[in-house]
Every structure is written in structure tokens, then in C-alpha cells.
Structure 1
Amino acid sequence: MTNPDTGKPMIENSDRGITMAKPLAWTILASIVAVVWYGGGVIAGLSGSTQTVTSTLSTMQAANVQIEGRVRSLENNAAAGLARYDALKQSLDEVKEQQRETNDLLRQILQGGGKK
């Protein structure tokens, strides 16, 4: 590759080692600075995004804990309600059994009184 202004090669091997023309060196330096600048911006953006995601996740976990507490409370209330309904059913079954016994006794009395 040659320098269009001077016609000399932009990179040459000399006694001092490998040398570069000033325009090529400045282009490389500017490119390196631009890449570092761009990379720093990307890293800063990613860092900010990570903090936002972490904050949102923390908020969601707190909301999840509240929801779990509410669900647990509803489950406990439902279990207490079922226990009350079971007790009420048992009481109704006892009343039905007593009513059957009373009806049987009344039939016996009526049948026994009709035979005399």
C-alpha cells in the first residue's frame, strides 16, 4: 500500500524496524480511540440495563412474596370453611338419625295403640 501524496509505501521495513507513514498511524490511533470510546459506551449502557433488570426483578420478587401470603391466607380460610361445613354436615346427619328414631318410635306407638 502506497501513500497517495508521496508515492512511498505506508508501511516499510527499514534498519529501524517496521515503520509506518504518519497518516496510517493517525488513522490506526483514531480507530483504536473510537473503538474504545464505543466499547465504553456499550459497557455503560449494559451496566445501566443490568441495574434496571435487577431492580425490576427485586420488585417482582417482593410482589411474589405478597401474593404467596395472600394465597396462603385464602387457603387457610378455605380449609377453615371446609372444617365448618364438615361439622355442620355431621350435625345434620345426627339430626336426621334422631328424626328417624323418633319416627320409628311414633310408628311403634301408633301400631301398638291401634292393636289394642
Structure 2
Amino acid sequence: MSLSTAGYLARRAAQKERVRILYRRALKDSLNWAVHRHIFYQDASDLRERFEANKHVEDLDTIDHLIADAEAQYGKWRHPDPYIVPWAPGGSKFTRNPPPPRGVEILHDYGKEEND
């Protein structure tokens, strides 16, 4: 079965996007496993080598199979308790200070005197 040029390019673009997203997720997840930066740098280098090993594969079905295997492996080795920046959604400081109740007025111009 032969694909048209536009179909081929669209499929390749989708595959490249999936690989980019997978690589970024795996790289960020490796920060959760590494205790020190020198360990992370080695893990990041190993991860890059694994992605670079299949860089020159041209068959679309083989690429889809490799991506599916990599996504399954990433899902298997994902960190169970990832680090979340404290002020980001899901972090320990996110919405720690709830908004004031209705009727309470907050003055942001305190300390300023108006000269009449």
C-alpha cells in the first residue's frame, strides 16, 4: 500500500511530535529518579543514546511500533511519586491561601496618603 506524499508527511510529522513529547516526558521523569545532578546527567545521556539509536529508521510501521514500545516502557518505569513544584497545580503550596470571603475589602494602596 502506498501513501500519498501529503499523507506520508502528515504521518511523519505526527510521529516526530510523539517522539518529542515522549523524550521530554522521559527526561523530566528521570529528574525524579536521580538524587544528584551528576547522576541525572548520566541518565540523560543514556536516554539520548537510546533515542538516537533509532534515528535513521525509515519504515513508518516500524517507527510506530518503536514509539508504542517506548511509550509502554515509559509507562512501566514512570516514577510513582513525582516531584511537583510547590506553587504549581498539585504542589503543596498551590492555593494554600484561599481567597478572602465575600464582603471583605482588601486595600492594596495602604501607606499611600492622598494630598487634598
Compute the TM-score of the two structures, normalised by the length of structure 2. 0.29
Question: Of Structure 1 and Structure 2, which has the larger fraction of its residues in helix?
Answer: 1
Question: Of Structure 1 and Structure 2, which has the larger fraction of its residues in strand?
Answer: 1
